[in-house]
Amino acid sequence: MLLIFLLFIFKNNIIIIVSIAKNITRPIFPFTAIVGQEEMKLALILNVIDPKIGGVMIMGDRGTGKSTTIRAIADLLPKIEVVEDDICNSHISDSELMTDAVKQKLCQGKNINTVFTKVPMIDLPLGATEDRVCGTIDIEKALTEGIKTFEPGLLAKANRGILYVDEVNLLDDHLVDILLDSAASGWNTVEREGISIRHPSRFVLVGSGNPEEGELRPQLLDRFGMHAEIRTVREPSLRVKIVEQRNKFDSNPQSCLTEFKDQQNKLKSNIINAQRILPKTTIDYDLRVKISEVCGELDVDGLRGDIVTNRAAKAYAAYNSRENVEVEDIKKVIILCLRHRLRKDPLETVDSGSKVKQVVESIFY
């Protein structure tokens, strides 16, 4: 939020008006203050720990806190080190997260300045065009001056962050395809009139929607790593608690942030610790076989279900400060990873998880 202050200075009977612009950070509702919706919160945490899980699709009723929760997880994350004035928030040492321009400077031994910034949280509006999403190349400048001038899109700005698409089930299918391709490969390529530019675009893709407005096609839904299903809270005491929590934040945001500061810091340190442990986390061969047995029994097409379940189970084990995956870790995440992969007919609805749970209980006895 940008506030403009006008300062009136009287000098020699002349009024001089000086404007002072000041950035005021808008407070974000704390993640740990959100009541219920455990599926959604767990899916977001696991994707933050390991973005290679492939993002999360959140489907639920209106007014259930989907947008609030997604913005809260982004605000919770620790600041990241990025190359100063870089369009893609390039990493200073990981080649998979830096632009070709930064790589070239490093090869030439040039000094590169870095700054610490908040994890990018990018909202993709439903009316966005392909150029707005992917970026554009100035063809005229390229042809007349021989200079590749790239105007970055949302995929560049979302690198190393979170890209959120509300009502993703209403977004054009070809844009969903672009988002999923970039999220899976970690790169975005823009080609115009024989001129090609590519840049890193590794982000956590989060989509949300209301099932009453329609589901995504099975082929697109399958490419989301996890699927969280949320429902309106029915228990009166919980509803009252949610309303009170929201009213408390709206009336005095700083007091609410202070109240949950310790819980926020604890969760933040758990996530950082899990990211550190994750590369060392292993899953036994027998457990991997049983995961694939579940996928085969459920007639899950392709191998994405197997891969995502393995990654999510390791992320959950790391989140609990363990380097070895246990059966309970798999049971905790497998429904989130497989329930949306069972739908064969576009007219069918996504299973609530009962089929997955039944097969899991029979195999992981």
pLDDT-based confidence at residue 79 (cuts at 50, 70, 90): confident
Average pLDDT over residues 164-192: 82
Asked if residue 345 has pLDDT above 80, the reply is: no
Task: Tell which residue, 221, 171, 174, 181, has the closest CA to residue 343.
Answer: 221
Termini Cα distance of the chain: 54
- The residue type of 324 is N
Which of 29-38, 297-306, 317-326 has the highest mean predicted lDDT (pLDDT)? 317-326
Q: Give the confidence band of 358 by pLDDT, cuts at 50, 70, 90.
A: confident
- What is the distance between the alpha carbons of residues 59 and 230, in angstroms, rounded to a whole number? 6
| Mean pLDDT taken over the chain | 81
Say what the pLDDT of residue 255 is: 86
Q: What is the DSSP string of 231-261?
A: -----HHHHHHHHHHHHHHHH-HHHHHHHTH
- The helix or strand, by DSSP H or E, that contains position 1, with its residue range, turns out to be none
**Annotated catalytic, 304?**
yes
- pLDDT for residue 10 is more than 50: no
Distance (Å, whole) CA 167 – CA 315: 27
> In the predicted model, is pLDDT for residue 312 greater than 90?
yes
pLDDT bin (cut points 50, 70, 90) of residue 348 is low
pLDDT in tens, 122-152: 888 888 888 888 888 766 665 666 666 777 8
Q: Categorize the per-residue pLDDT at 22 as very low, low, confident or very high, splitting at 50, 70 and 90.
A: very low
pLDDT confidence of residue 4: 47
Choice among 71, 304, 311, 339 that is catalytic? 304
Name the DSSP class of 324: B
Residue 54 predicted with pLDDT over 50: yes
Give me the domains of the chain, ranges plus CATH numbers. 31-276 (3.40.50.300), 277-363 (1.10.8.80)
pLDDT band at 192 (very low <50, low <70, confident <90, very high): confident
